[in-house]
Every structure is written in structure tokens, then in C-alpha cells.
Structure 1
Amino acid sequence: MLAGETPILVHNACGGHTDLYHATNSAGAASIRASGVDPSFGPRPMNFGNGFYTTRSHAQAADWAARRFGSDGVVLHFRVPTDQLGALGSRSFAADSPDLAGFVRSFRSGNGTEVPPYGMVEGPMLGNPGPFRRGAAPVWFGNQVVFYGDTGPMLDAALQ
């Protein structure tokens, strides 16, 4: 995995698995369980392009599900073997990464169908997308791990 141009090791403390969470509603959860994860579903301008968005934080996903879907909010849990994540072409950003704002701006200004040339991108969430699009400094928070391309079957197998 890369942090900017520096390779980093993907690791965790869960015995070879990385726990990821996805906020959705009951219909979305049922669709994912029945048909699988489709990283190209629902194109719209997002921080890291058109992909399947997860987070390492269960609390963040639960908050997002409650705020976006109310009592119909659901958090899906994926337990992905860390070696499978490490095998993906990926990129990781810290909030102070010098190229994070430009990377996000390129996807936020598109039509929503763009994807980066990676299987996975991880970094903080943009907290002020409207002001950011109008030129304000970015406000970063939390965590997002986004999947693209043919990563759906890996996530399907990891769904708990």
C-alpha cells in the first residue's frame, strides 16, 4: 500500500483480518446480501471516486447510518483477510498528505463515474464538500476505505 509515494504495510490486531463497516439502509443491505457488492453502483461525485465506501470505524458507520437513514439504518460488517487487502493495488492518505486535497478535488469535480487506478484507496473523509468545491480549505475527519473494479467478490466472501 502507498502513503503518498511511500510504501506502507497494511496491518491490524485482528489475527490476519481487517474489519470494515458499510452504512446503508435495510433495502441496501438486503440487496448486497442477495446480489453482492457492486463497486460501480450509484455513480456520483465522491471523495475518492465511484466505488464501494467502507470505514474501519464501526462507530462512524453507525453514526452515518443513523443520520442518513434513521431507524432504517444498517451497518454491514466485512472481515477481510489482510493478505487480500495487501495484494490490491492501493493508495493510502493521511490528513496531512500534500496531495490529498488535489486527489479529492479531481473526483469531487467530475461526473461521478471516475475511478482511480487502484483496487482500494484509504484516507480521511472530507467534512465540508460544498465550501471545498468553492475554494475553502478542506476539513478532514474519520476514515474511509473505498473499493473499485473487481473487488466485489472479495468483499462478498468477507461479509459477516
Structure 2
Amino acid sequence: MAKPKKHGYGNVFVGFMFLGLGLGWLFGHLAAGLFIGMGLGFIAQDLLEGKERAATPASEPAAAPARHEPDLETVWARIEAHQGEPFRLALGQTFIYTVEGNAVVPSTTNVRIQKSQFAKALPHVPFQKVSDVPKDVFGPSYVYAILMDERIRDDDW
């Protein structure tokens, strides 16, 4: 993508600054003339650049790359394939899980996390932190740890 041509409006600022400096010297108020010239230079430069921005068509934002919507059955097959392997919660605790029917059973708690909970979370991946997991998902710490693990992600998100 070519860079837009940049005009030398910085010279407008410098020109007004020297004009103010000269007038200030002429009338015996050097500092006041300098500051007045600088102020006028900033204003003129902004007005000229503003006109250019208004005349230039806004560039369209780049289209976001097409995001691959992960398939639940593919992800669930990965979850089943990696049961019994160590996973890590966000705070560092290690756990393993087994898959019993349509549920994940973590080793560190007495709960079953249904496949439907992963289905609720999947459209929202990738997550930056556990609190990004939708609020209606049961077992968000475990869902996060499993879905954000590289073995389960497999470069899909």
C-alpha cells in the first residue's frame, strides 16, 4: 500500500514563527511576537491539514481475516484424544480429565462439565483470560484451560 503524499505544511508553522519573531523585534516585544507567530503557525498548519484530510477519501478499513469457526465435533474429538494428559488452569494448578459420555470429568473437582458447555464457549474463542468465557458456561476455569491449550486449539484459533 502506497503512503499518501505528505505536504510541507511544517513550513507554514516556521514561516509564521519567523514573521512573529520579526514583528516582535520590530516593535520591541520579541517574546510576545514569537509566541503569537507560533500560535498563528499552529492554527494555519492545522487548517491546511484539515482541508486536506476532508478532501482525501477515507480509506476503508482492512477486512479482518476470515475466522475459522471451530467445529464442535472436531474439537470434542481432540478433547477425547487428550484425556489423561496434564492440563494447566490459569492460576497454574495442574489437572487431568477423563471423558465419560458427553462430559469432561476433571481430576481436581467432583463435577462433570457437559459437552454443551464447550459448545457454548466455542464461538467465543480465543479467550485472553478466564473471565472472557461466557458467564453462562459452567466450569469456566476448566473450559478455558482445555479450549486454550495448544493441543486442543491445533492452530484453529
Both structures adopt the same fold (TM-score exceeding 0.5): no
Q: Say which structure, 1 or 2, has more relative contact order (CA 8 Å, 6+ apart).
A: 1
- Structure having the higher helix fraction is 2
TM-score (norm 2): 0.18
Tell me the TM-score normalized by structure 1.
0.18
